[in-house]
Amino acid sequence: MGTIDTPGQITVEPSGQVCGATVTGVDLRDELSPATVAVLRAAWLEHHVLAFPGQLLTDDDLERFTLAFGPFGDDPYVAPIPGREHVIAIRRDADETAPLFAENWHSDWSFQERPPAGTCLYGITIPPTGGDTLFADQHAALDAMPSSLRDRVAGRMAIHSARGGYAPSGMYGEADRATDRSMDIRPDDSAMATQLHPIVREHPETGRLGLFGCVGYIIGIDGMADDDARDLLVELYHWQTRDEFVYRHRWEPDMLVMWDNRSVLHRATGGYDGHARLLHRTTIGAA
């Protein structure tokens, strides 16, 4: 383990796609200096998704890294791993047949009053093929949006809720408990709650405008009839997730990825049947 923090050695290599960059020249087992955290935060705000390959991290390291960027977020509905309050396992066993976890586009826990600023995900067991994570840049999506659509969403408040996923009747609710899912998901009536957020939102740190959340956790638009809202949200979703706004992230074991939930949507992908996949996840709470 290194002990000397040298932010000057950090290299940030953009992915060449719409967002995302790979960071080398820093050992995340170290206590990061304020100067290093500032360099990494600036890169994170610019590229929205940072990948740190070749990092041999313990859960203590993952937690310490997370806390360098903000407080822990509040992670409902998924039990933490034993012995930790703030680490959850994104896990799929080799022979598991339950529907994939997090396969729909979303911004993590966007139904909260103060959704997490970011998420850290550390690859432990990575399948030889498949299991990529997709990220859709919501600043790019807004910047390129035709005014015919932008005019219909500007100034509108979206109604967010976890009910479609985590209510007892939801996707991960009572019916899901009968599957062979290896993740410890805990559905709850509290998922019925709703929370308003602007569809077009200023990023709290950069001030840059972007689209926040998407249909799924968004279940309606404040002041709009359900059918009209559904149509608009589906049209918006198709725009938000167009190929040109998407960065495809290929995982490696011992790779940490941090993303900015205020700037991107993300989703899991399959394609690794017969192989296990395990990652440990923390969230960075809103400052």
Q: Tell me the pairing of strands 246-249 and 133-137.
A: antiparallel
CB atoms within 10 A of CB 190: 12
What does the alpha-carbon distance between residue 22 and residue 13 come to, in Å, rounded to a whole number?
5
Query: What is the three-class DSSP state of 198?
Result: strand
Q: Considering only residues 67, 78, 81, 102, which one is a binding residue for ligand SIN as defined by CB under 6 A?
A: 102
Considering beta carbons, is residue 123 or 173 the nearer one to ligand SIN?
Answer: 123
Least Å distance, CB 127 to ligand SIN, is 11
- Of the pair 197, 281, the CB lying nearest ligand SIN is at 281
The smaller minimum CB distance to ligand SIN, of residues 67 and 78, is found at 78
Q: Does 90 bind ligand SIN (CB under 6 A)?
A: yes
* Pairwise CA distance, residues 191 & 168, whole Å: 8
Per-residue x/- mask for ligand SIN, residues 118 to 157, rule CB under 6 A? ---x-----------x------------------------
- Where do runs of H (alpha helix) occur along 85-199? 138-143, 147-153, 163-166
Smallest gap from residue 106 Cβ to ligand SIN (A): 7
Single residue of 281, 282, 283, 284 touching ligand SIN by CB under 6 A: 281
Tell me phi and psi for residue 122, to 5 degrees: -115, 125
Q: Which of 154, 268, 276, 286 binds ligand SIN (CB under 6 A)?
A: 268
Collapse the DSSP code of 179 into the 3-class scheme (helix H, G, I; strand E, B; otherwise coil) and give the result. Answer: coil
8 A C-beta contact, residue 267 and residue 134: yes
Minimal distance in Å, beta carbon 29 to ligand SIN?
23
Contact call for residue 55 and ligand SIN (CB under 6 A):
no
- CB distance 79 to 50 below 8 Å: no
Q: Please give the residue ranges that form the binding site for ligand SIN (CB under 6 A).
A: 90, 102, 121, 133, 266, 268, 281
